[in-house]
Amino acid sequence: MHSRRTVLTTAAAAAAACATGATPAHAAASTIGTQPSAPAVTPAPSAATRARLRRLISRMTPEEKVGQLFVMRVYGHSATDPDPADVAANQKEIGVANAAELIAKYHVGGIIYFGWAHNTREPHQIADLSNGIQKAAAAQRVPVPLLISTDQEHGIVARVGAPATLFPGAMALGAGGSRDDARTAARIAGEELYAMGIRQNYAPDADVNVNPANPVIGVRSFGADPQAVARMVSAEVKGYQGAGIASCAKHFPGHGDTDTDSHVGLPYIHHTAEQWERLDAPPFKAAIAAGIDSIMTAHIVVPAFDSSEDPATLSRPILTGILRERLGYDGVVVTDSLGMEGVRVKYGDARVPVLALKAGVDQLLNPPDLSVAHAAVLKAIEEGELTERDIDTRLMRILLLKERRGLFKDPYTTHQDVDRVVGTRSHLTTADRIADRTTTLLRNDADILPLSRRRERRVLVVGFDAAAPSGTGGPPTTVLAKTLTELGFSAIALSTGLAPTQQQIDGAVAALGERDAVVVATYNVSAQSPQRKLVGALLDTGKPVVQLAVRNPYDIARLDGVRAALASYSWTDVELRAAARVIAGRLDPTGRLPVAIMRADTPDQALYRIGHGLSY
């Protein structure tokens, strides 16, 4: 098993040797183009605006001010009349029945949407929920519109599914290498979110994924080359904010070299200050230069910057010393979810929000127990650990963001706005065209690809099969088989899952007996993965085997004997359709690896370097 330091060194060397991120000559320009791009530097608010917001703050009680710092989950498709099961979940976790009661009781400044919380069933419902939330906010003693947010990174993280437009995720866009495509995807995604009443997207991911063993970032990152990632991050910031919504770069100071998932543990980043400056800092600097509205913290320990070994979310040396003072960032700082284990390991839930605010945070995202967190901040003010001036400073940043995003003028949307913008034919066509530039052909010995409708007309598709995130498509084998059939092949799907049994492997081999070729969709193949045995058995038949990595692109390093291998970087429909078009020869693969793939037997050597990619 390779060490973290070996991975860092080899990936960083590969990044230096072959940078990606240049805009290809064939890249399409933005198809929207009706709104101006976000300015490189956010214009300073006028004195009149600041005075008006100070008057608003002066009317608030301490309870109302503290509430405005929280961004909270809430169950249900409606602000006032959710399903009974959602009412029960809200009462159990938050002590309220619905979003309107949440706002009335805690005066929260924001709500985050999740698919699992039943907030994002379909676009009209999302718009109605957003309007209901804003109406509840307008009914408060001191009315302040809410900042409604979600995680719509695209690729493997998407809270809003079809019929909204779904784009390739970050690493796929990194493989495409086009800043125009990244900006266009963000602009369209931002316009659609805006039409549904969502004014903040927790994207783009600004982490530089230099560690192939990273369990939580991976394809959510644009790649392993810091400068290439910086260019793509800057493009997406301008796209989202040019569409009128707040963008959020995450996870500061950089989550790309971890081998622990901060949802379940506390990761350490052992970069020196010089390594951080070279590897992790460039995307965040680029986001700040592009006028980023908000930056999300990481629940990670960076001993080089804070000897206390507090997670960055709670670290004043990191958030105030580096982000605020050294990088000069004065926008909104939001925590990653406070329900994640990484921020709860060292301190109790009552201390975490207080320490985060003392470190330099403005918004407290999704605490596990809002009543405990809200009371803890109020107590810290009463006891002098935090001052009301501290709270006012943070609240002013939040209100300025809301002002900048037009929430004080008009926080509402309509079904007509949804119908005019969300999932239009032109948006869907643009998403497919962008995806067409992302599929990467890693290996093609003996010119197995593209498959021929004469030689390999009958195709079997096997492997990983699960619905894509939040209704964004799938299952993969079905989508691939359907698309190949539409392209003139006779393709059938057979799911063998993440851990195929011997019976499933035997069934796949038997099914291949009546077929001319097989496409096998693999998912994060490890040394012990039964997927390796499946691929080996298919290879033993002597028929053409095409391997498609549908998440991290590193699978080929553990699949000896595969002669035709591709990477799609996700299993959402838009990326799978593009991969099928490459397999069928309807597209020339133009994606280039944005990360290095290291050899499994000698992990200090690159099997494929950054920038690798074959064409027909």
**Cβ contacts of 486 within 8 Å, gap of 6 or more:** none
C-alpha span between 312 and 298 (Å, rounded): 6
Catalytic residue among 261, 263, 349, 369: 263
3-class SS string, 198-240: CCEECCCECCCCCCCCCCCCHHHCCCCCHHHHHHHHHHHHHHH
DSSP characters over 471-491: GS---HHHHHHHHHHHTT-EE
Q: Which runs of E-coded beta strand occur in 17-84? A: 70-72
C-alpha span between 128 and 278 (Å, rounded): 45
Catalytic residue among 306, 336, 362, 465: 336
Max CA-CA distance within the chain?
79
Q: Return the H-helix or E-strand segment holding 287.
A: helix 281-289
Active site (annotated) includes residue 415? no
C-alpha span between 514 and 509 (Å, rounded): 9
C-alpha span between 262 and 235 (Å, rounded): 27
CA-closest candidate to residue 334, choices 406, 404, 251: 251
Is cis: bond before 311, omega within 30 of 0?
no
C-alpha span between 137 and 105 (Å, rounded): 11
C-alpha span between 67 and 55 (Å, rounded): 17
Residue 475 DSSP SS3: coil
Active site (annotated) includes residue 336? yes
Are 228 and 222 a contacting pair, CB within 8 Å?
A: yes
3-class SS shares of the chain: helix, strand, coil, % to 5: 40, 10, 45
Active site (catalytic) residues: 263, 336
